Every structure is written in structure tokens, then in C-alpha cells.
Amino acid sequence: MHILLINAHPDYDNEVRATNQLYYYTLRHLQKQAPNAFIESLKLYAPEAMIPALTQETLREPKRIAEYQDRLIDQWRRADLVMIFSPLFNLNIVSRMKDYIDSIMVADKTYRFDESGSVGLLDGSQPVLYVQTSGGNYDFDPDDTKVDFAPQYMRTVLHVMGINKMTLLRVQGLRLQGADRNQILTTARQHLARYVDQFIQAAR
């Protein structure tokens, strides 16, 4: 069993951040419940992550970043489960997450175009859990739901690459007046544990 955990928080080593708390909780739970699983952790903002950015130079000379792109694509391909932990910043994903998507969403490697449109080149077998933390609540207010772009964007790009098994876990309302932050995170941990346990059980 091979599992890829992605932490997209810019402040990735700050234990106060809700995103990081849930990321490390999931890592510990996986290690306990599936001690023989191979778990890869990717912190997008850590210097060692080497996430290429699209620039004038890399667009003119794509070979400059091809090695890094291939490494990230291979890492994704070998995972049986991908879990992404990301904060919502200004209604969308953070910039390094966009760089990461641009690095794995590569024509003729993870998708291609033919006369019928785009065709995903990933086999679609991997379930993806997208965990989004946010200060506001974007699930129940119809007006706010319309401007919450990140889940729709993630679901769309994964679909283009051939993955249609994205589950969304919103951990929201963390900064609303009167919100019980501890209870919100406790509930999120329960959902994460249940998701992980179900995956492990199905994989046996």
C-alpha cells in the first residue's frame, strides 16, 4: 500500500495551523493503522520539495523542469491513495498548489487532446481526498458557495487527468465569531480517521 500525503500550507511547520494539525494527525493515524504502508509526505512550500514554477525561462526551455515534473508525476502514479491538505486563500488554492498542478498536469503525460476533447492518461484508480480548511463557511450559504472556487478547480483538473474519485472534506468556519475551533477540528479528525480506516479495510 502506497499513500501520498500533500501539505499545501505556506506555513507548513507551524503546529498552530489547522491544516498542519490535520495533516500530522492523518500521518500518525496511518502509521498506526497501516504500519506496513509506504507513506510519502510532500510539503509543497518546503525548500526540498522542488516544485517548478512556470516562468518565461521554463516556458521557452521546458526541458529545464521536465525532470522535476516527471518525478512528481511518478510519485503521484505510484500512490494508491492521495490526500491533499490545503487552506483556502482568497477563495482559491494557494500559489504553490497551482505550481504543483501545473507540474503534474502535463500534455501527453497525464492528459492529451484528440478530436473529442481532453483524455485523461491516469488510470483513475486512485481515490483522492481533498481536505480544505477555511476561516469562513462556504458550505451552507448559497451566496458564498458560488465564490468558493478551490474544490471545483481541483475536481476539474483531476477529471481532465482521468481521476473521478475526489472526496471533499471542508473544515470550515474556523475564524467565525463564536465558532468552536476545537470541536470543528475534532469532528474533522473523526472524518479523517473514518476515511482512512475504510480505505485500509477495502485494500486488504
Mean residue pLDDT of the chain comes to 94
> How confident is the model at residue 115, as a pLDDT?
85
Split at pLDDT 50, 70, 90, the class of 148 is confident
Beta bridge partners of 86: 132
Q: Are strands 81-87 and 128-133 parallel, antiparallel or unpaired?
A: parallel
Span 47-75, mean pLDDT? 94
CATH architecture of 2-203: 3-Layer(aba) Sandwich (3.40)
pTM of the model: 0.95
Gap between the Cα atoms of 141 and 53, Å rounded = 35
pLDDT at 145: 60
Confidence of residue 185 (pLDDT cuts 50, 70, 90): very high
Residue 149 phi, psi (nearest 5):
-80, -30
pLDDT for the residue 139: 75
Collapsing DSSP to helix, strand or coil, 164 comes out as coil
> With 80 as the cut, is the pLDDT of residue 142 above it?
no
Give the largest CA-CA distance in the chain. 53
Percent of the chain residues topping a pLDDT of 70: 97
**Domain map of the chain by residue range?**
2-203
Angle, CA 118 vertex, CA 49 and CA 58 arms, to 5°: 40
User: What integer pLDDT is reported at residue 147 of this predicted model?
Assistant: 78
Average of pLDDT values for 11-22?
97
Q: Is the pLDDT of residue 18 over 90?
A: yes
